[in-house]
Structure 1
């Protein structure tokens, strides 16, 4: 009888540990972007001719764990909105969709791993990974933070999915010269100055677009193709994550930095 009691206690203890481990696994970003959600959001990434099978859920979660504030700051609504914004922007950067694509034009994020323009922006430090990391200075700065020599080995970003996600999250979390970080914008931790307001730079998703590619896509007085595509992805993911999109979706009236 005593042996049975000990066996029951051991079983109960194991069950509690398993439950605790399961709960722990669902903390942070993984509690919102579950494996099932990741697959639903990016369901065509491995379809022919896409390269996106490279992008795995495990690689995303491991990379996110190195940036504890990413998708993990503020209330549940703020966290969901930031993650919808991150995937909206990176899906545009890796976009493989077209107007009448199966599932719609915004179901084809994370199709490409490397820059599709021909010739590339830079013959060595061309766009790679979810954010399409470009230019030597970005490879150098990201490498310093990640403790990787991305200047000598930029192909790590296109051959190691965890590194690829880490460079994207690094860019998202890091202010760029005069620009705030996309993270601070999307968690409402950035307040525009009077000069910013006079230049149309206001909090919201459009400001993230301005930070990432404002020189080509923003301040045109009407939505550019890139701006429109970024918004379309963001709206799709916001709906899937059950969160409102907020204000200032477009950057059409935001003056780009450096102008």
Structure 2
């Protein structure tokens, strides 16, 4: 009998820790449309739900933060390429080799004429990030050699966004309710410490409406930028 109780207890722990965050399609749609963007597609909802688990997102509040950041980064899930950049060779000089931190993106290892501007729903930039994401997703060097596939493939747009969140944002948030921590983790060098305040404020405005659409308790907390 003791063994049975132990098995039941362990089963309940496994179910609790592996439970999927529940966001209904209606909540997701209202999170987008309440921010004055057009209604997202079924495929986008499916991609979002899949990304929650892949991104290590364990609470509905974190899911709301994730969606708010996606809305800002992609202009309401409509743009998967950085503003002002287009095609595989757009904005060629914006993310130069001198700023890379991976050897695979330097010297003769760097593909000529390939541009690593922002792509995806959370826009992935720099060759070093493309190669890290590519390897983590089991794609070898595909995203390094063909970064524009992140913009042209719906699945890759979601996959790199989930990878980026899990790698750079989830742990930085650490279960906190401070939305500013997510902005700091995504674009802190440009939008925190008093810089480009209009951008960080816009991200939070999106979050307040997603927070309401997701029917979360309490009030959204903006702090965490500094």
TM-score by length of 1: 0.61
Aligned residue number for residue 214 of structure 1 = 188
Unaligned runs of 5+ in 1: 1-26, 73-78, 96-108, 175-180, 190-202, 255-259
Aligned-residue Cα RMSD (Å) equals 2.7
1:57 matches 2:50: no
* Alpha-carbon spacing, 1:223–1:81, altered in 2? closer, same or farther (3 Å): farther
Instruction: Supply the distance in 1 between the matched residues of 2:209 and 2:196 (Cα, whole angstroms).
Output: 18
Whose helix proportion is higher, 1 or 2?
2
1:37 corresponds in structure 2 to 27
Partner of residue 111, structure 1: 78
Matches within 5 A, 1:1-259: 28-29=20-21, 31-32=22-23, 34-43=24-33, 56-65=44-53, 67=54, 70-72=56-58, 79-95=59-75, 109-117=76-84, 120=91, 121-122=94-95, 124-148=115-139, 149-174=142-167, 181-188=168-175, 204-220=178-194, 224-243=197-216, 244-249=218-223, 251=225, 254=226
Question: Is the contact made by 2:124 and 2:130 (CA closer than 8 Å) also made in structure 1?
Answer: yes
CA contact (8 A) 1:113 1:128 kept: yes
CA deviation string 1:191-242 (max 9, x = no partner) = xxxxxxxxxxxx721121111111111111x870111111101111111112
- The change in CA–CA distance for 1:248 and 1:236 in structure 2 (over 3 A counts) is closer
**Cα distance between partner residues in 2 of 1:223 and 1:245:** 24
- Quick check: 1:114–1:127 contact (8 Å CA) kept in 2? yes
- Deviation string, structure 1 residues 73-102 (Cα, Å, up to 9, x no partner): xxxxxx11101111111211112xxxxxxx
In the superposition, relative to structure 1, how do residues 55 and 209 fare at CA in structure 2: closer, same or farther (>3 Å)? Answer: farther
